[in-house]
């Protein structure tokens, strides 16, 4: 009888844990389109916490995140961090980012995506910024993983080339 209660308690606990953390979602990792769509969804939303657990499920455990840009004094910078460090520094402001163009190159199980984006401070609001995400992905035969990504924002002297805005 005790064994039966322990088994039932274990199964109930297991179901409970699974219900609390449903990630990864099959729709997020089964296709390249799905993982890129999820990549933008996890950082977008109203003010408050973003979808950190879902974002973790998209990334390989050894994934790297990098931000490139120009300081206020005009010097180039690169900030490299783990996904955990990135999550600790994500602003809690309302932020909406969406892909507007994609260039994809694949060889074997690896894929590189140049993903041009627009960002907004409010859903369907005016565009407040644009840039390009450079995303490296791996397909393990069952699902896609984001391995690394880096982005740079459009600014004076760093305009987005036409090949990353429309089909030529």
pLDDT, tens digit (0-9, with 9 covering 90-100), for 105-139 = 999 999 999 999 999 999 999 999 999 999 999 99
Residues 78 and 28: their CA atoms lie apart, in Å, by 29
Judge contact between 130 and 117, C-beta under 8 A. Answer: yes
pTM recorded for the entire structure: 0.85
End-to-end alpha carbon distance in the chain = 71
- Domains detected in the chain: 24-164 (3.10.450.50)
Model confidence at 4: pLDDT above 70? no
DSSP per-residue codes, 82-144: EHHHHHHH---S-BEEEEEEEEEEEETTEEEEEEEEEEESSTT--EEEEEEEEEEEEE-SS-E
Model confidence at 101: pLDDT above 80? yes
Of the two residues 98 and 167, the one the predictor is more confident about is: 98
Per-residue model confidence (pLDDT) at position 18: 42
Taking Cα atoms as reference points, which of 151, 101, 166, 100 lies closest to residue 127?
Answer: 100
Residue 167's pLDDT band (cuts 50, 70, 90): low
Q: What average pLDDT score do residues 140-150 get?
A: 98
Q: What are phi and psi of 93, to 5 degrees?
A: -70, 160
Per-residue model confidence (pLDDT) at position 20: 62
Q: For residue 122, what are the contacts with CB-CB under 8 A and spacing of at least 6?
A: 94, 96
pLDDT tens digits, one per residue of 9-65: 444 444 333 446 689 999 999 999 999 999 999 999 999 999 999 999 999 999 999
pLDDT tens digits, one per residue of 65-79: 999 999 999 999 999
Q: For residue 10, what are the contacts with CB-CB under 8 A and spacing of at least 6?
A: none
Per-residue model confidence (pLDDT) at position 22: 85
Judge contact between 47 and 80, C-beta under 8 A. Answer: no
What whole-number percentage of the chain has pLDDT above 90? 84
Judge contact between 38 and 54, C-beta under 8 A. Answer: yes
């Amino acid at each position: 009888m005790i064994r039966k209660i322990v088994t039932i308690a274990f199964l109930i606990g297991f179901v409970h844990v699974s219900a609390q953390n449903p990630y990864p979602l099959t729709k997020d990792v089964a296709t390249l389109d799905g993982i890129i769509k999820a990549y933008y969804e996890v950082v977008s939303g109203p003010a408050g916490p973003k979808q950190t657990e879902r974002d973790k499920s998209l990334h390989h455990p050894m994934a790297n995140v990098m931000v490139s840009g120009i300081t206020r004094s005009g010097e180039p910078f690169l900030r490299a961090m783990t996904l955990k460090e990135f999550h600790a520094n994500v602003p809690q402001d309302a932020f909406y980012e969406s892909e507007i163009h994609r260039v994809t190159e694949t060889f074997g199980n690896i894929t590189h995506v140049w993903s041009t984006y627009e960002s907004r401070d409010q859903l369907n609001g005016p565009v407040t910024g644009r840039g390009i995400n450079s995303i490296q992905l791996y397909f393990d035969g069952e699902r896609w993983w984001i391995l690394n990504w880096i982005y740079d924002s459009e600014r004076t002297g760093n305009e987005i080339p036409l090949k990353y805005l429309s089909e030529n």
